[in-house]
Every structure is written in structure tokens, then in C-alpha cells.
């Protein structure tokens, strides 16, 4: 069964990149905002976890130097300029209002930023383009001396086209998470790509701002504990073991066959069952905690993950084309000992319960909680956060006219080592596999691989449980 999970490796390389020009990109036509205009951002947009830029990169092996090819940078700039008319909030800037919340402001500095660069390397020299690689960082533009997590007074779209000597190119994209969640980002990206490919503005669906949809209630009504936001004093060795030394990013390609067997083994002993995500998240969490040898074993740990709340909103429903943040953070908790010695089915039940707890009322309670007690710092105590990118149309949304990207996704997880990402398999075979990326201390990588690949113990435990029923 281990053959159904392949450990992926990336090359440790230096990519020489030369910046050739910086191009401000303004909307191509009139927009419904003037100098001094402000736009409201919801409490979901204002979550501390959204106050970041999400960096991604897209690789294209097509030969941009061919005589019948469109010039890459000009094509992308022209299309972005057109798309910024209906998506005009992305041409503004973020500033902090008097109440401490962020808002979009239209002042002297406006527009997106496009950076054109080149490298004397060829794409083939970058190694395997199937897995995130921290050494790709030069393909995403950062301002000199840019502070970590800076979002105020920054372009909300920062794009870098890097032209490689072989004729291929990359598009590095930094999109402000305060403006859109993953699904909203894919909606914007698809519009930009379709506009570049056709040469005419394409928006399907039409973008909808409407952040007032998530106005807090008067008075705010908090109906849940919201453990996802609670500050927990670190009582275990987990966080210290991750942050005291530089973590290592490990990636695994998990086949559909492995996921199906894992899901079968993870089914709780009730009538509700569990999803593939429940099973995968439970297995990753257990393997991670075992590999880190967390002490003491009675310490409570948290697993958090984002849930798309769009399907939950029915009274009233969201308007089509809404591209803001509509995610709630689900949270499951368990003592270390239960994760180490308990069954996979018990842990998958915890994940399922956390996932199903996100309801329309939970969304409204989250909005109200943020109104009264908005966290101002990220909490890492005893926590693993899983981000599920498999639900995003990363590859399908990114055909700008040069075909499907050979890779689409994040670059580096190590700045936030308590995050695990599930990515879609970008291979041409479209195998349905999932790429799991996670950070660990170098000393724990071998143990994690051993626990993650081996289903033998899970199978024997599962059979023992069934005999007791």
C-alpha cells in the first residue's frame, strides 16, 4: 500500500532573476469610485488570518519567443487593466479606519503592480515542477525591506512575469487575502485568464462586492464558544519543537486508492460516515503528533481548517459572483494521548463534527464574535491548521492563452510551520491524487513518513475494534 504514496522531492537551487521593469496597471475605463472613496470590509475579511498576501506561482512551458505568440507581459497587463474595471476594489489600497478595522480606500496611489523580470536559467533547471519549492521565492516580487504581513498601503495585486531562457515563463502572483478567499481568488483569476486569452473582457459570473451582507447584528449575538479563536497557553512541547529550528517542508503524492482505503478505515462506528477530507485530516494530524513526540500526553491539541460557508447561507443566500471571504474556521480538539493511542475512526469523527458544526448561525456568530473580541494576533498554541486547496480550480482557471500551467500553487510553507496544505495533483494524467505538504523539524521527518505511509497498524486496530462490536 505504501506504493500508493510517493514522497516528492524538490531541488535546492538558486534562481538568478533580474527585474526589468515595474508597470503600474490601472483600470482601463471608468470605475464607480473616485478620489477619497471608501469600501466596507466585513469582519470575515478582517480576520487576522486574512491580513496577508497569498503567494502563488504558475509555470508555462509554451515558447513565448515564437513569432506567432502574443507578448506575455503586454497581454497580461492589458487583460488585467480590463478586468480591474468590474473588479475595481482590487485597484484600491487598504487602510485602517478609526475603529481599527480595515477598509479599501481610493487615494493618489492606485492600481495593481506588474513586474517584468528575466532569468538566464531554463525551466528544466528548476527541477520537478510538481511540488512547492521554497527556492522559487525570487519568482514572487517583494518590495525592498518589506515587512512580514504588511498589507496597508500596498497594491492589492502584485504580479511578476519571469521570462526564462528556454522560452517558458512563470507568473508569480500575490493577492491580498482581505479582498477575496480562495474561491473568490479563482473567480478573479479565471476572469483575468479568459480576458487575456480572448482579447475581450470576460466575467462569468459578474463580480459582486456586497460586503455589507456580513454586517454584525445589533446587538451582536455570540451563540458558540469559538475555540478556534481562543488563546491557549502552550502547555506542550509541540510549538517549541517546530519553531526552535528551521522546519523542513515535506510533500507526498497520495493516490486515490490510498485515500479510498484510508476513508474506509476511518469510518466512525455510527450511521453518519466520514468524508475523504475527514479521513485524510485525521491521519495527517495523528501522524504529525506521533512524529513530533509531543509531551505531556494529557495536553489538549487543536486541529483547525477552513470551511467554505457559501452553501450554508440560505436566509438570505449570497448573491452570485460574491468574491469576498466566506470561510469559517472549524476546530477539533483532542488530548495528545488519544491521538497517539486512539483509533483513526475516533479522530475522523472529531474532524467530521468540527466540519459539520459550521452552520448559517455559526457564520453569523463568528461575525458577531469578531465585532466584540477581534483577535489581533495569530495563535499557534498546540495547533495544526490544514488548508484544502483541492477544491480550487487552480489549473482550470489559469489558461491565459498559453495552455494549462505545468504547476499552479503555493511556494513555501516554512514561514508558518504549523500549516499543512492539501493540493490538487497537477500532472497531465489528472490522476485524482492529492499532494500533501507539511512542515516538520528535520529530526521528525523520517518518523512522519513512516507513520503516514503505513496503514498496517490502522488495519489491525480497525479489525480489533470490529471484533469488539
Task: Give the active site residues.
Answer: 177, 399
Q: From 433, 415, 410, select the one nearest 10 (Cα to Cα).
A: 410
Handedness of CA 367, 369, 370, 376 (dihedral sign): negative
CA dist 104 and 41 (Å) reads 7
CA dist 317 and 419 (Å) reads 31
Q: From 175, 193, 253, 170, select the one nearest 423 (Cα to Cα).
A: 253
CA dist 429 and 58 (Å) reads 18
* Dihedral angle over CA of 29, 398, 210, 81, nearest 10: -10
The residues, any chain, with a CB within 8 Å of residue 63's CB and separated by 6 or more, are 69, 167, 168
Residues in the chain: 469
Element at 54 (helix H, strand E) = strand 53-60
Sheet (strand 93-96) strand order: 38-40, 102-105, 93-96
Specify burial of residue 296 (Cβ count, 10 A radius: 0-12, 13-18, 19+): exposed
> Apex CA 275: angle with CA 416 and CA 249, to 5°?
25
Reading the block at residue 446, the C-alpha cell is 523520517
CA dist 240 and 243 (Å) reads 5
> How many other CB atoms sit within 10 Å of the CB of residue 442?
11
Reading the block at residue 134, the C-alpha cell is 521554497
CA dist 335 and 301 (Å) reads 6
> How many other CB atoms sit within 10 Å of the CB of residue 447?
16
Amino acid at each position: 500500500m505504501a506504493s500508493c504514496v510517493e514522497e516528492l522531492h524538490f531541488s535546492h537551487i538558486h534562481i538568478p532573476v533580474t527585474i526589468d521593469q515595474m508597470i503600474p496597471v490601472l483600470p482601463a475605463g471608468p470605475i464607480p469610485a473616485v478620489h477619497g472613496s471608501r469600501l466596507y470590509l466585513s469582519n470575515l475579511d478582517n480576520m487576522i488570518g486574512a491580513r496577508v498576501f497569498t503567494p502563488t506561482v504558475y509555470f508555462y512551458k509554451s515558447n513565448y519567443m515564437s513569432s506567432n505568440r502574443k507578448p506575455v507581459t503586454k497581454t497580461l497587463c492589458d487583460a488585467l487593466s480590463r478586468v480591474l474595471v468590474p473588479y475595481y476594489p482590487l485597484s484600491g489600497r487598504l487602510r485602517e479606519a478609526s475603529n481599527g478595522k480595515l477598509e479599501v480606500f481610493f487615494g493618489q496611489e492606485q492600481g495593481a503592480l506588474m513586474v517584468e523580470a528575466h532569468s538566464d536559467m531554463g525551466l528544466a533547471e528548476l527541477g520537478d515542477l510538481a511540488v512547492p519549492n521554497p527556492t522559487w521565492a525570487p519568482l514572487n516580487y517583494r518590495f525592498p525591506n518589506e515587512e512580514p504581513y504588511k498589507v496597508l498601503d500596498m497594491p492589492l495585486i502584485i504580479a511578476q512575469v519571469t521570462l526564462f531562457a528556454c522560452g517558458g515563463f512563470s507568473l508569480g502572483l500575490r493577492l491580498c487575502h482581505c479582498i477575496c478567499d480562495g474561491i473568490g481568488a479563482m473567480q478573479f483569476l479565471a476572469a483575468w485568464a479568459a480576458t487575456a486569452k480572448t482579447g475581450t473582457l470576460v466575467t462569468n459570473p459578474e463580480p459582486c462586492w456586497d460586503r455589507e451582507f456580513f454586517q454584525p447584528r445589533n446587538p451582536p449575538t455570540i451563540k458558540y464558544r469559538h475555540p478556534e479563536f481562543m488563546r491557549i497557553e502552550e502547555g506542550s512541547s509541540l510549538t517549541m519543537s517546530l519553531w526552535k529550528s528551521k522546519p523542513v517542508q515535506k510533500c507526498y503524492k497520495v493516490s486515490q486508492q490510498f485515500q479510498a482505503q484510508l476513508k474506509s478505515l476511518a469510518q466512525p462506528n455510527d450511521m453518519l460516515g466520514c468524508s475523504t477530507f475527514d479521513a485524510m485530516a485525521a491521519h495527517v494530524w495523528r501522524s504529525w503528533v506521533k512524529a513530533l513526540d509531543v509531551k505531556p500526553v494529557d495536553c489538549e491539541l487543536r486541529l483547525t481548517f477552513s470551511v467554505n460557508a457559501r452553501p450554508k447561507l440560505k436566509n438570505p443566500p449570497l448573491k452570485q459572483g460574491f468574491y469576498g471571504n466566506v470561510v469559517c474556521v472549524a476546530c477539533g480538539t483532542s488530548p495528545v494521548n488519544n491521538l497517539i493511542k486512539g483509533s483513526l475512526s475516533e479522530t475522523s469523527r472529531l474532524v467530521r463534527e468540527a466540519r459539520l458544526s459550521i452552520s448559517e448561525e455559526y457564520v453569523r456568530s463568528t461575525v458577531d464574535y469578531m465585532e466584540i473580541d477581534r483577535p489581533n494576533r495569530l495563535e499557534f498554541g498546540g495547533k495544526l491548521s490544514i488548508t484544502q486547496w483541492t477544491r480550487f480550480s487552480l489549473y482550470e482557471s489559469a489558461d491565459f492563452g498559453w495552455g494549462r500551467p505545468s504547476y499552479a500553487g503555493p511556494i513555501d510553507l516554512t514561514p508558518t510551520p504549523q500549516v499543512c496544505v492539501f493540493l490538487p495533483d497537477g500532472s497531465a494524467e489528472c490522476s485524482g491524487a492529492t499532494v500533501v505538504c507539511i512542515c516538520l523539524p528535520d529530526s521528525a521527518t523520517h518518523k512522519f513518513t513512516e507513520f503516514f505511509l503505513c496503514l498496517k497498524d490502522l488495519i489491525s486496530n480497525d479489525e480489533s475494534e470490529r471484533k469488539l462490536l
